[in-house]
Every structure is written in C-alpha cells, then in structure tokens.
Amino acid sequence: MLGRLNHVAIAVKDAVKAAKIYGAAFGAEISGAVPLPDHGVITVFVTLPNTKIEFIEPLGEASPIAKFLERNADGGIHHVCYDVPDIIAARDRLVKEGARVLGDGIPKIGAHGKPVLFLHPKDFSGALVEIEQA
C-alpha cells in the first residue's frame, strides 16, 4: 500500500529564502512559490535525485503552520509524505487499523495537484503523515 517517500516538509517563515539555501548548497532544482489557500500555506519544493523537500510557510494568520512556528520559532520538520496508489483505499485501510485522518476525511488537492490526506501524529510515533495519490 505505501509507496515511495514523496517529500519531507519543513516549516519555515520564508519558504523561498530557505529553498535558496538548499539550492546554493547542493545545486538542487527549486520550484516557484505556490500558495495553497485550502491548506493555509505557501510551498516551495527542492527536488533531489530520490525525493523532494517541501518548504512551507504560513499563508495568513489562521494557517496551521503559523501555529507550528509559534511553538518552533526556528522552524523544523513538519511532516513526511508518502505516495499511495489509491488514496481512498489507503484511507479506509488505515482507519480500519485504527489510524485517525485529520479533517473531514475527504482528500483535498495538494501542492502537486493530486489528492492528499493527513494522518494524526499520535498514531505514527509522533510524526504527522501525509499520503498523496500517486
């Protein structure tokens, strides 16, 4: 059911600035900044040979990332994202096994234009998990 690691997300105050540091240090490809109002974030991706790093910054005061940065002023790893072949089947199986889906359980379109869901960190050893339709 679980596919490859899609990305690791790092919450920061300025996603473009943070991504440029990675681009300069590692010669990585950097995407443009993309606002995602439904998620309350602005994203910038750094593409690596085997995965991506997503820098996320708050989009508005109600952003969950703003709350994260209040608790972690320097930023930090926010979540990990895995590909799944069928997000509805993955959701249903995870719920059956006792995992909690955040929100209403209906996938939203994520930064890659594909459906995503987030899973409660208490069910995954303290890590917020995102699953994305492959």
Burial class, 42, CB count within 10 angstroms (exposed 0-12 / middle 13-18 / buried 19+): buried
What domains, with CATH codes, occur in the chain?
A: 5-133 (3.10.180.10)
- 93-97: list long-range contacts, CB under 8 Å, 24+ apart: 93/1, 94/119, 94/131
Residues known to be catalytic: 130
What does each of the 134 residues of the chain score in pLDDT, given as a tens digit?
A: 789 999 999 999 999 999 999 888 989 999 999 999 999 999 999 999 999 999 999 999 899 999 999 999 999 999 999 999 999 999 999 999 999 999 999 999 999 999 999 999 999 999 999 999 99
Distance CA 124, CA 22 (A): 28
Distance CA 39, CA 50 (A): 25
How much is the pTM? 0.94
